[in-house]
Amino acid sequence: MNIDYNLYKIFLYLYEEKSISKTASKLYVSQPAISYSLKELESQLGYPLFTRNSKGIEPTLEARELYGYISTAFNILNDAEEHLKNLNDLNIGSIRIGISKELSGVYLNNFLVYFKDNYPNINISIIVDDLDKIMDMLEVRQIDLALGKYDGVLKKDISEEKVEVLQTCIIYDDNHKIEKLEDIDDLIIQKKSFICDRLDDCLKLLGLNITYSIEVDDYLSLVEFVKRGIGVGFVVYQNYLDSNIHVLFDDRLPKYEVSCFYNNDYLTMASRKLLDCIKNRS
């Protein structure tokens, strides 16, 4: 049975108002149109829904049974519409972001400050991992956005937008005297990272023999080691770096291109808004 949604809507008003004239007034249609719709619904259902009396109309037993189902269905529809409205207005929602270890979660700091100020009710989850794993999560929709540098072949449903190019740099504390790359004997690096693969190529071209004395898994640990004077580090430059850490830039060091990856068919309104923040550097 494929009954028009509007017929059920008229039925609900008739049931609650107990009057054809009041229903017509509330729905801004003529009384004959309401009467015709009621007859059409009764014809399709195969039983009468109302009887007339001196006060108006009275629901039949069948109408009382039907009302419970139809009112519940309409309440669910109204809740769904309200939920979607809140999603579109960014009053509710969530974003799951995967970001490469080279960047770490701190890359998102500036964007998230703006975003949370403007959309405080959006829940945000951040996962920091190797970008290969992050991209696998994106493919099966365990995350909404991925950030980093990826040289693999993108799946056909995944889109890429280049966001910015970051400098890589050498960081050190007051205990080290670093004026140029040639002053470095060893480095603290992030193991199995994209930028360190490029650093290897760069050092070979320069003929420099720099060893990696410590390999750490994440960006923040590396920075903390440098702050404690344990060694000299190689990182993607980010503005948040402690003022006590010195930074050496060198045009010979590899650059790091940041891209944002997503499946456009499954981007929520909240994810799109954050993507716009990242693209516009706000």
**Model pLDDT for residues 99-157, shown as the tens digit of each residue:** 998 888 788 887 888 888 888 888 899 999 988 999 999 999 999 999 999 888 888 88
Mean pLDDT of 67-93: 79
Q: Report the pLDDT value the prediction gives residue 112, as an integer from 0 to 100.
A: 85
Q: Report the pLDDT value the prediction gives residue 217, as an integer from 0 to 100.
A: 87
pLDDT band at 94 (very low <50, low <70, confident <90, very high): confident
> Is the predicted pLDDT of residue 56 greater than 90, yes or no?
no
Residue 127: name the closest of 111, 105, 109, 112 by CA. 105
**Model pLDDT for residues 97-106, shown as the tens digit of each residue:** 999 988 887 8
**Model pLDDT for residues 162-205, shown as the tens digit of each residue:** 999 999 999 999 888 889 999 998 999 988 788 888 888 888 88
Mean pLDDT of 59-87: 85
pLDDT band at 87 (very low <50, low <70, confident <90, very high): low
> Is the predicted pLDDT of residue 31 greater than 80, yes or no?
yes
State how far the Cα of 187 lies from the Cα of 189, in Å rounded to an integer: 6
> Is the predicted pLDDT of residue 39 greater than 90, yes or no?
yes
**Model pLDDT for residues 230-263, shown as the tens digit of each residue:** 999 999 998 777 777 899 999 999 999 999 999 9
pLDDT band at 92 (very low <50, low <70, confident <90, very high): low
**Structural domains present in the chain:** 5-88 (1.10.10.10), 94-166+258-279 (3.40.190.10), 168-254 (3.40.190.10)
> Is the predicted pLDDT of residue 282 greater than 80, yes or no?
no
At 46, list the tokens: 């195969």
Q: How many CB atoms lie within 10 A of CB 120?
A: 9
Please give the single-letter amino acid code of residue 96.
Answer: R
